[in-house]
Chain A
Amino acid sequence: MTYQFMQNALLSAFLGGITCSIIGVFVVLMHMPFIGVCMSHAAFAGALLGLWLGFNPMIGAFAFSLGAAAIVGPLADRGELNPETSIGVIFSLMLGLAFLFMGLMPGPKSAALELLWGSILTNTREDIIVLGVVAVLVVGIVILFYKEIQATIFQRDMARAVGIPATVMLYSILFLTGATITASFSSIGGLLIFSLILNPAAAAYQLTYSMKRMFLLSAIFGVLSSWVGLLFSYLFDIPSGATIVVTSSLIFMLAVIFSPKRKVKRWQNKPLLEAK
């Protein structure tokens, strides 16, 4: 384990942790975990297609995840009460395609398996640049358009009614989700990527009534999970993607245990601690 590898891994973990966890805030608050999972599996199928046919797996991953978003996005947009069936069908289709492509690939499947559980320790400079660009994009858009994002997350129809381009925001969020999944693939792997997106944000959700703070906490948990996970993976020589995800789950469990929102009912007659 050379110094350069570790540096790359830490940087990847930092960038990936921030990006995934910020996207996670959208996934949690807009109640669209299934859409995110669908896109992750689509990206996985796309990446494997790339491996099989010999083109850059990242392009395949990006194209497929955006394709899934294009199908599943309008379902969410129209406020379909039960999009789960359609989403479930696409999800299983993607997983089926993924294993189909893996089976059709000639020779050893090691490259494919690496895409499954990630190999952050072999991240190249190119991987880091892609992660960096997506991180800047995601953080930049959240900061620049914070108020539009806040309104779109809260109530999309109402946001549209006051003159905010809520539909553009929704599709931008889906686009950024696809970009994040694609960029983080090589680090965390197709099967686990969604956990790093969901868990830090889900933990932050338990702990604050301020959306700004939720983004911040989520990012902190994301980076913490990534670095602690990396540390354990290095110390005990276990797969890094898996340790990162398990760490993020542990953080989530702690957040639930210590959550001030555990006993929240529909509305309270007695005064709560005032959230600032």
Chain B
Amino acid sequence: MRNSGDCAIDIENAVVSYREDIALRGVSLKVRRGEFVGIVGPNGAGKTTLLTIVNGMGKLLQGKVRVLGFTLAPGNGHSLRKKVGYVAQVQSIDPRMPINVREVAMIGRYGRLGLFRKPERNDWKIVDMALELVGMTHLASRPIGHLSGGEQQRVAIARCLAQEPEIFLLDEPTASLDWKAKTDIMELVKRIHDLRGLTTLFVTHDLSALPIACDRIVLMKDGFIWDEGSTKEQLTDEKLAQLYDLPIAEVAKRRREAALA
């Protein structure tokens, strides 16, 4: 029997709004410490909203959410954010923005430092180690706007690592990246998960961007968790057909015809 100390994330019947819509209609999910969970589903399924509930940025209308032993209530989300690292999709950055890679990675520690402390030597050491782990040391002094999408995502991951979080959330981190960058990021995330044992939630709508390293896959549709289980169980033609409302034969055909497995 699992005791609650083992549980990093415990969501019970959460109803969550996003902008004007109800994005989660009653979602329950338990994630153990150190688990690597992949979350897939069509656009609009509520995958991103699920992540916002874990890092305290979403609006919980009903239900109960406990993250790292802390019960989420309206207005108390901000203390949770320091412990939860969040990597979003690549955003376009002004190439003239006056901030370099090392400074961006340091931002991850700002929440921990609090309002009046300045970064000290130890903080910079942690940042430099994070940059090394993601392979960005050689670009540390480069303005962030000069990096490619894949490089910027690696810096974002370094920023998360510098934060020293207990949970690692990734929201479509490989969207709009080329194949090499995509697989670089997937490999990096797996390596970090193995090294640091971080509880990891990896959201993607792109099935080819789902790391095989996932302990568990959660399928989402229309604001609900539709099914969950191991990769082999969940990524069958039958389940995908129901998830995406396509005939099974069509799903099988498209999977065969995808150029790169």
How many residues of B are counted as interface, with CB atoms below 8 angstroms from the partner's CB atoms? Answer: 43
The interface bits of chain A over 263-274 (1 if a CB of B lies within 8 angstroms of the residue's CB, else 0) are 011111000101
In the complex, what residues of A have CB within 8 A of residue B84's CB?
161
**A151→B110 contact, CB < 8 A:** yes
Are B142's CB and A274's CB within 8 A? yes
Chain B 93-127, CB within 8 Å of chain A: the 1/0 string? Answer: 11111111001100110111101101100000000
Instruction: Give the CA-CA distance A151 to B110 in the complex, in Å.
Output: 8
- Once the chains bind, are B95 and A276 in contact (CB under 8 Å)? no
Q: Which A residues from 134 to 158 make CB contacts under 8 A with B?
A: 144-145, 147-148, 150-151, 154-155, 157-158
Please classify the interface of chain A as helix (H, G, I), strand (E, B), loop, or mixed, using the class held by over half of its residues: loop
Of the four ranges (under 10, 10 to 19, 20 to 34, 35 or more), the interface on chain A belongs to 35 or more
Known interface pairs A147-B113, A161-B86; A154-B78 also in contact (CB < 8 Å): no
Across-interface contacts of A109 in B (CB, < 8 A): none
Chain A positions within 8 Å of B112 at CB level: 163
Which of A50-58, A191-199, A204-212, A243-251 interfaces with chain B?
Answer: A204-212
Q: Are A162 and B110 in contact (CB under 8 A)?
A: yes
Taking CB atoms, residues of chain B closer than 8 Å to A275 are 100, 141-143
22 A–B contacts, CB within 8 A, in A order:
A31-B94, A144-B116, A145-B115, A147-B107, A147-B118, A158-B86, A159-B107, A160-B81, A161-B55, A161-B84, A161-B86, A162-B163, A163-B78, A163-B82, A163-B111, A209-B96, A209-B98, A261-B95, A264-B145, A267-B148, A267-B151, A275-B100
18 new A-B contacts, CB < 8 A, other than A154-B107, A162-B81, A163-B82, are: A29-B97, A31-B94, A147-B113, A151-B107, A151-B110, A154-B97, A155-B91, A155-B93, A158-B107, A158-B159, A159-B107, A160-B57, A161-B55, A165-B78, A209-B99, A209-B100, A211-B103, A265-B95
